[in-house]
Amino acid sequence: MTDHPLKTPANARSTPLVIRERVWWLLPLVLWAAAVGLSLTLQVDKIREQSTLVAVEGARNMFRMVMLTRNWNASHGGVYVPVTPETQPNPYLDHPRRDLKTSDGVAMTMVNPAYMTRLIAGMAVSDGGVVFRLTSLKPIRPANLADAWESRSLEAFERGATETVGTESSPQGELLRYMAPLKVQESCMSCHARQGYKVGDIRGGLSVSQRLAPIEAATRAGVRQTVLAHAAAFVLVLGLGWALLEILRRRWLELAEKIGELEEAHGQLLQSEKMASIGVLAAGVAHEINNPVGFVSSNMGALKDYSKTMVALLDACRAGKATEADFVAADFDYLKTDISDLIRESRDGLERVSKIVADLKDFSRLDQAEWQEADLNAGIECTLNVVRNEIKYKAEVVREYDAELPRVPCLPAQINQVVMNLLVNAAHAIDERGIITVRSGHDAGWAWIEVADTGRGMSPEVKKRIFDPFYTTKPAGKGTGLGLSISYDIVSKHGGHIDVTSEPGRGTTFRLWLPLKGAGPVAS
């Protein structure tokens, strides 16, 4: 029966340590914290990187704008603007037509690109934040001399760098610095040719500085948000996870307890089933013993009467008063034969009693509750004797034993219990009178015992469930429904199995298989 539903494994009660001991939950907690921490650092780094990138992009745009205006100016070889207190003639511009007068007498002065840049830069500083200026390592205007950071950048440009980015602390706070080179073009030559500039040379650069504080403020806001989001996710998942584990734990423990209770109940039922089968046995055995004991004791009564009559006759003989008539009156001839009959009969009866007791002892063999190579045929025979009373009014027993059956390693008392179960069930399955055939046999590695009855048989639905614990077709109170379930367990423990074939109205055949090379006790 391979489709037999599995019994609850005995180890189901042992709750996993991870569930039982909450300390273990710290492990996923630590993992989760690590994951959240890692994500947070990555995110924060990204935010920092991103805001620097945005700031640098701003500086680049500033550079492009300044370059555009400068190129526009340079393409005109400088432009003229009216002289104002803010826009005075550039003392460094050495140009023949630096200062002009319009036809109506307004003073005009030429503004070269560098000067224009300086003027716009002045406006930008007053506008807030961004500072940019044109520098060179060898300036015309001394104030245009590059500072330390700018010098390093200019040297880098000469080595081929296209831009430099960096931070630097200053009296106004941390600064983000950006610088890109200025290439000498044809249009520059009109004023710078004297310095030995050549087209394509890098002779200076435009540096853009902005305060880091506003950028950092924006970054901080982003970081704060990310931290909050991470903390929320951490706490939420932690809470949910913990609650879920707590529920799981409680369920598990409850279940374990239930299973424990069930196992206990199961144990009790097994015990009561054992008691019930002992009851059946006891009733049968009592009946078997009662009968001979009954007639032995009535024989004793008769023998007592006979001895009284004999003693009287012997007394009369001794006194010499006994006559033939006395012997006839005492029915002496009959007495002679009946006494020996009664004694033989009583001895037979007592032998029967001692045979029953011996069978019973053989059957249980409780003193040998260990594995041994047993003769199955002998076991069947003694079991048949023990349950004879249950069967004899119901069925003829036909024996078809395999004379060559090898000995089988088993717990004989338990196998006897299974056979008894099958025999009693077979007897119960027979309504009027029938035949119970008990066979034994063996083939490749297996020995088998078969109990076939000509009883009612079973429907396929019933057949499917007969090995389930507590399943019974007997009226309530007449059987625990554990007999076959226990038999199944016993045979499984021996490494064997039980087959059933049944046909309603024609009878049922159980065949139990036991491995010849006994597996020894199989853990169940």
- Segment contacting ligand HEC (CB under 6 A): 85-93, 219-227, 350-358, 407-415? 85-93
175 with 169: CB under 8 angstroms?
yes
Burial of 102: CB neighbours in 10 Å, binned 0-12, 13-18, 19+: exposed
Nearer to ligand HEC, 192 or 494 (CB): 192
Both structure tokens of 282: 């006891």
Indicate whether 92 belongs to the interface with ligand HEC (CB under 6 A): yes
Burial of 518: CB neighbours in 10 Å, binned 0-12, 13-18, 19+: buried
Indicate whether 486 belongs to the interface with ligand HEC (CB under 6 A): no
Indicate whether 133 belongs to the interface with ligand HEC (CB under 6 A): no
214-220 own/partner pairs: CB under 8 Å, 24+ apart = 214/129, 215/51, 215/52, 215/54, 215/55, 215/176, 216/51, 216/174, 218/51, 219/47, 219/48, 219/51
Indicate whether 74 belongs to the interface with ligand HEC (CB under 6 A): yes
For residue 152, the minimal CB distance to ligand HEC (Å) is: 16
Nearer to ligand HEC, 180 or 353 (CB): 180
207 with 153: CB under 8 angstroms?
yes
Indicate whether 98 belongs to the interface with ligand HEC (CB under 6 A): no
- Segment contacting ligand HEC (CB under 6 A): 70-78, 151-159, 165-173, 412-420? 70-78
Q: Give the closest residue to 483 by CA, choosing from 433, 429, 431.
A: 429
Site size toward ligand HEC, by CB under 6 A? 27
380 with 436: CB under 8 angstroms?
no
Determine how many CB atoms are found less than 10 A away from the CB of residue 122. Answer: 13
- Hey, which residues between 147 and 176 contact ligand HEC (CB under 6 A)? none
Residue from the set 136, 164, 277, 389 that interacts with ligand HEC by CB under 6 A: 136
Q: Give the closest residue to 118 by CA, choosing from 152, 91, 158, 157.
A: 91
Q: Find where tokens 């650092």 sit.
A: 41
For residue 108, the minimal CB distance to ligand HEC (Å) is: 14
Both structure tokens of 511: 């065949």
Nearer to ligand HEC, 115 or 513 (CB): 115
Indicate whether 203 belongs to the interface with ligand HEC (CB under 6 A): yes
210 with 129: CB under 8 angstroms?
yes
Nearer to ligand HEC, 90 or 440 (CB): 90
- Segment contacting ligand HEC (CB under 6 A): 184-192, 230-238, 375-383, 476-484? 184-192
Indicate whether 455 belongs to the interface with ligand HEC (CB under 6 A): no
Residue from the set 77, 409, 479, 495 that interacts with ligand HEC by CB under 6 A: 77
Indicate whether 204 belongs to the interface with ligand HEC (CB under 6 A): yes
Residue from the set 39, 87, 144, 226 that interacts with ligand HEC by CB under 6 A: 144
Q: How many CA atoms lie within 13 A of 324 on its CB side?
A: 0
Indicate whether 394 belongs to the interface with ligand HEC (CB under 6 A): no
- Segment contacting ligand HEC (CB under 6 A): 189-197, 307-315, 323-331, 382-390? 189-197
Q: Give the closest residue to 277 by CA, choosing from 398, 392, 393, 423.
A: 423
Indicate whether 146 belongs to the interface with ligand HEC (CB under 6 A): no
Indicate whether 380 belongs to the interface with ligand HEC (CB under 6 A): no
Q: Find where tokens 């205006």 sit.
A: 69
Both structure tokens of 252: 């598990």
Indicate whether 78 belongs to the interface with ligand HEC (CB under 6 A): yes
- Segment contacting ligand HEC (CB under 6 A): 108-116, 152-160, 279-287, 322-330? 108-116
Q: Give the closest residue to 139 by CA, choosing from 69, 210, 197, 80.
A: 197
Indicate whether 180 belongs to the interface with ligand HEC (CB under 6 A): no
502 with 482: CB under 8 angstroms?
no
Provide the mask over 23-62, with x wherever binding to ligand HEC is found by CB under 6 A and - wherever it is not: ----------------------------------------
Indicate whether 181 belongs to the interface with ligand HEC (CB under 6 A): no
208 with 63: CB under 8 angstroms?
yes
Both structure tokens of 275: 């008691």
118 with 134: CB under 8 angstroms?
yes
Both structure tokens of 286: 């009592």
Residue from the set 40, 56, 114, 491 that interacts with ligand HEC by CB under 6 A: 114
Indicate whether 109 belongs to the interface with ligand HEC (CB under 6 A): no
Residue from the set 47, 182, 223, 451 that interacts with ligand HEC by CB under 6 A: 182
Indicate whether 188 belongs to the interface with ligand HEC (CB under 6 A): yes
**Rounded CA separation 40/265 (Å):** 55
For residue 183, the minimal CB distance to ligand HEC (Å) is: 7
For residue 184, the minimal CB distance to ligand HEC (Å) is: 5
Nearer to ligand HEC, 180 or 449 (CB): 180
Both structure tokens of 81: 């603007």
Indicate whether 501 belongs to the interface with ligand HEC (CB under 6 A): no
**Rounded CA separation 422/441 (Å):** 17
Residues that bind ligand HEC (CB under 6 A): 74, 77-78, 90, 92-93, 112-115, 118, 134, 136, 139-141, 144, 182, 184-185, 187-188, 190-192, 203-204
